[in-house]
Amino acid sequence: MDRYRGFEVNLVCGAGGAEIGGIDASRPLAPEVVAELRRALAEHCVIFLRDQVLTPEQQKAFARHFGPLARTPFIKPLDGHPEMMRIVREPQEAKKLNFGGRWHTDMTFSPEPVLGTCLYARESPAVGGDTIWTNQMLAFEALSPAMQRMLEKLTVMHSAKRSYGPQGTYADDDLKSMRIQASDAALKEQPHPCIRTHPETGRSILYVNWVYAIRFQDMTEAESAPLLDFLNRHSQRPEFQIRFRWRQGSLALWDNRSTQHIAVNDYPGYRRVMDRVTISGDKPYLKETP
């Protein structure tokens, strides 16, 4: 295992994920520690810090070590914190889906999808409520060379319309605490390469997801569905998964460039409160090979 300066690292599983010890996220971090955290994030996809005590301002300050904060364009922010959203699930709520309850990568409907997401557990259920990520670098590497070469030539159109459009998944689910109202820009289709290059590691990433990847460019949704369905199922294979058990005070930061994730909906009767901020990213690209 690689050594890191300034903190301890314990790997969560073979697919990735790293628990970080020896860092108080409420305090400013030295530049060399931030550089090492960025390396850990890029290499392990998700980093976790336990037993943190954070105000919203301190959580935002921690996330800003990794880049400017991005606003979620169609969800009511936390009062007084325009860059932060509070995700609340009350014990009595009965929804078809919880927020984040389908496999997805955050905000790929944007021209420049977010680099990362920082999620902090203020209240966590006694049982359930895990989050699962999948390592999309491993998903790419497990494909045959012929499939890799074919996908490197394809562009995928992303949009929020399937989830948050007038006829979308959440159209008949009020999600009272979230006040979701998709913007016109989020409902438009945005092209991204099917295979993108990680800007820090240089590794190739399978860049599709159930929620926002609608079709391949110059193909219909019906024509695209068989291959997208295969890729989405492939990307969620157990050997690519990283699972995290939350408890109050847990902080997770994940790399949206190289992961999908899902919030597991298995905690009826419990309250769950999470604060989320996202970190601005750049336009996905595929590095040309000689």
- When pLDDT is cut at 50, 70 and 90, the band that residue 94 belongs to is low
The span from the CA of 112 to the CA of 97, in Å, is 27
Strands 46-49 and 16-21: parallel
pTM for the predicted model, two decimal places: 0.91
The span from the CA of 117 to the CA of 255, in Å, is 7
* Eight-class DSSP state of 104: B
- What does the pLDDT read at residue 106? 96
**Domain-by-domain residue ranges, the chain?**
8-279
65 is catalytic: no
44 is catalytic: no
CATH 3.40.47.10 fits 8-279, yes or no: no
Q: What is the mean pLDDT of residues 72-91?
A: 89
Q: Catalytic pick from 106, 192, 215, 275?
A: 106
The span from the CA of 220 to the CA of 254, in Å, is 32
DSSP for 142-169 reads: TS-HHHHHHHTT-EEEE-SHHHHSTTST
User: Containing H/E element for 19?
Assistant: strand 16-21
Structure tokens at 4: 């890191």
Is 287:196 a contact under the CB 8 Å cutoff? no
- When pLDDT is cut at 50, 70 and 90, the band that residue 2 belongs to is low
Strands 190-193 and 259-263: unpaired
Closest C-alpha among 189, 179, 205 to residue 72: 179
The span from the CA of 51 to the CA of 25, in Å, is 10
- What does the pLDDT read at residue 272? 95
Q: What is the dihedral of CA 189, 234, 104, 43, to 10 degrees?
A: -110
Closest C-alpha among 154, 180, 131, 184 to residue 12: 131
Cα 278 to the center of its chain, rounded Å: 9
Q: Catalytic pick from 65, 86, 104, 196?
A: 104
Q: How far is CA 9 from CA 2, 40, 210, in A?
A: 9, 9, 31
Question: Does residue 166 register a pLDDT over 80?
Answer: no
Q: How far is CA 66 from CA 72, 117, 150, 209, in A?
A: 17, 10, 33, 24
Structure tokens at 69: 């904060």
Strand partners, 278: 70, 117
104 is catalytic: yes
Average model confidence (pLDDT) across the chain: 91
- What does the pLDDT read at residue 177? 47
The span from the CA of 249 to the CA of 156, in Å, is 37
What value does the CA radius of gyration of the chain take, rounded to a whole number of Å? 18
- When pLDDT is cut at 50, 70 and 90, the band that residue 74 belongs to is confident
- When pLDDT is cut at 50, 70 and 90, the band that residue 92 belongs to is confident
Closest C-alpha among 33, 1, 35, 28 to residue 17: 1
Closest C-alpha among 110, 117, 127, 125 to residue 192: 110
81 is catalytic: no
The span from the CA of 77 to the CA of 82, in Å, is 5
